[in-house]
């Protein structure tokens, strides 16, 4: 995929060498039958794939439009899509003879997936996490520690996700034995492409499943966007098809309030974490803080391939507020007995908005990127 002006490698020269080495190994791995066999084995036997594509009949009635199918990434081991990528990258690190994995995490979901896979493959694991996030996400921090990972508290800047990424890159530069496992389709090349490839299993399965169940392709698909990995993983196999694609960012307390996580809405192109993309920044290129009630969405940028799809007009990028997401969380739970992650609830909320624009015989696939157990406290406080 050519992402036009987006993406690239905006990093120091020493880091470029390391990134080129990762790219070389990644390309080899993608051609290596043994590597792919191992990756698929763990997706099936450890993660529990394929995840079902579930026809949500009650929810469909509620929405009053097209038939809504849920891609159940919430049923994966550790409760979200992030493990697909973590397994792929840890296998790659092992192929490169690395002995130490590092990762950044915001809400702790990627940290948890990484610590889990490191425990499975017996490899040392350090998670960089903002001090503020550590205080907010005690359960995930405790789980990571139980899994044998070291959790490093990041105090610079705001003490949140973007700062944890900066610190992880610095650590990578100083340590030869380290592999940096990025959790979303962001960062310098080859990360966005690599993370995408390890998530395309979502869309590959969904395409086969919808053809089996409906005998035709969906008219639309919807996924939430933090950095953009569950979405690009679902979309990839459908980009060449006649299917409407919706990527949904967090509108937080409302786009006009400035308290949101919608970098495309803000419309400013800049450099963040080694890539060129849409970034939430002010006139002086100073990074702004992203906000969403769902910590998995409050990233102040977006993966470069989404920036490209937006620019080309191939994908429609929109946003959903905290209030709308909470409402959708409650509705799906009551209608289907499925508690969605607050992140995924943004995609669910968008389905409620647009289902009526499609015929009743049409289908829409909504990516249920994760389960909502972690969010129950938030919903009750709210």
Ligand X SMILES: *Cc1c(COP(=O)(O)O)cnc(C)c1O
Q: Which is it for strands 178-180 and 100-105: parallel, antiparallel or unpaired? A: parallel
Can residue 230 be called a binding residue for ligand X (CB under 6 A)?
yes
Token pair in block for residue 130? 């903002």
Cα-based distances in Å from 177 to 27, 102, 124, 318: 20, 10, 10, 41
Q: How many residues bind ligand X (CB under 6 A)?
A: 19
Q: Which span (23-31, 148-156, 219-227, 358-366) binds ligand X, by CB under 6 A?
A: 219-227
What is the SS3 string spanning 239-278?
CCCCCEEEEEEEEECCHHHCCCECHHHHCCEEEECCEEEE
When the beta carbons of 35 and 154 are compared against ligand X, the nearer one is 154
Shortest approach of ligand X to residue 297 CB, angstroms?
A: 6
Considering only residues 92-121, where is the footprint of ligand X by CB under 6 A? 109
Q: Which span (152-160, 228-236, 280-288, 321-329) binds ligand X, by CB under 6 A?
A: 228-236
Token pair in block for residue 279? 């970034």
- CA-closest candidate to residue 1, choices 367, 309, 337: 309
When the beta carbons of 67 and 260 are compared against ligand X, the nearer one is 260
CA–centroid distance for 248 within its chain: 12
When the beta carbons of 226 and 270 are compared against ligand X, the nearer one is 226
Can residue 225 be called a binding residue for ligand X (CB under 6 A)?
yes
Cα–Cα distance for residue pair 212/65, rounded to 1 Å: 21
Cα–Cα distance for residue pair 355/358, rounded to 1 Å: 6
Is residue 360 annotated as a catalytic residue, yes or no? no
**Helices and strands, counts by H and E, the chain:** 16, 12
Is residue 212 annotated as a catalytic residue, yes or no? no
Shortest approach of ligand X to residue 125 CB, angstroms?
A: 18
Can residue 229 be called a binding residue for ligand X (CB under 6 A)?
yes
Choose, from 67, 73, 104, 184, the residue flagged as catalytic.
Answer: 104
Helix or strand (DSSP H, E) at 193: helix 191-199
Choose, from 67, 71, 73, 82, the residue flagged as catalytic.
Answer: 82
When the beta carbons of 67 and 129 are compared against ligand X, the nearer one is 129
Can residue 80 be called a binding residue for ligand X (CB under 6 A)?
yes
- The residue within the footprint of ligand X, chosen from 9, 78, 344, 345 (CB under 6 A), is 344
Contacts 24+ apart (CB under 8 A), 327-331: 328/352, 329/372, 329/375, 329/379, 330/379, 331/59, 331/62
Can residue 322 be called a binding residue for ligand X (CB under 6 A)?
no
Is residue 262 annotated as a catalytic residue, yes or no? no
Choose, from 51, 193, 369, 374, the residue flagged as catalytic.
Answer: 369
- Site residues (CB under 6 A) for ligand X? 80, 82, 109, 184, 224-231, 296-297, 341, 343-344, 369-370
| Residues carrying an active site annotation | 82, 104, 369
């Amino acid at each position: 995929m050519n992402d036009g002006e987006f993406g690239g490698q905006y990093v120091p020269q020493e880091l470029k060498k390391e990134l080129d080495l990762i790219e070389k190994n990644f390309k080899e791995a993608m051609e290596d039958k043994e590597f792919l066999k191992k990756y698929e084995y763990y997706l099936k036997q450890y993660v529990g794939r394929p995840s079902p594509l579930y026809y949500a009949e009650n929810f469909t009635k509620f929405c009053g439009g097209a038939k809504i199918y849920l891609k159940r990434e919430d049923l994966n081991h550790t409760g979200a899509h992030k493990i697909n990528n973590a397994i792929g990258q840890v296998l790659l690190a092992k192929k490169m003879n690395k002995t130490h994995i590092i990762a950044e995490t915001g809400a702790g979901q990627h940290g948890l997936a990484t610590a889990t896979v490191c425990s499975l493959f017996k490899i040392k694991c350090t998670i960089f996490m903002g001090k503020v996030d550590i205080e907010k996400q005690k359960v995930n921090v405790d789980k990571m520690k139980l899994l044998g990972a070291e959790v490093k508290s990041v105090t610079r800047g705001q003490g949140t996700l973007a700062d944890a990424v900066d610190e992880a890159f610095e650590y990578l530069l100083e340590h030869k034995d380290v592999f940096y496992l990025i959790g979303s389709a962001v960062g310098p090349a080859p990360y966005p492409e690599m993370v995408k490839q390890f998530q395309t299993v979502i869309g590959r399965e969904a395409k086969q499943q919808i053809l089996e169940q409906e005998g035709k392709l969906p008219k639309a698909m919807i996924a939430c966007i933090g950095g953009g990995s569950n979405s690009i993983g679902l979309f990839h196999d459908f980009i060449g098809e006649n299917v409407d694609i919706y990527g949904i960012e967090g509108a937080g307390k409302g786009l006009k309030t400035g308290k949101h996580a919608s970098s495309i809405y803000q419309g400013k192109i800049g450099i963040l974490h080694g890539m060129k993309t849409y970034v939430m920044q002010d006139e002086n290129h100073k990074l702004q803080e992203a906000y969403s009630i769902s910590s998995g969405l409050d990233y102040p940028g977006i993966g470069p391939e989404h920036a490209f799809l937006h620019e080309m007009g191939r994908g429609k990028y929109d946003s959903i507020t905290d209030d709308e997401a909470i409402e959708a969380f409650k509705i799906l739970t009551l209608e289907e007995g499925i508690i969605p992650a607050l992140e995924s609830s943004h995609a669910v909320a968008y389905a409620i908005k647009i289902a009526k624009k499609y015929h009743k015989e049409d289908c829409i696939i909504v990516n249920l990127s994760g389960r909502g157990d972690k969010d129950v406290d938030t919903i009750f406080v709210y």
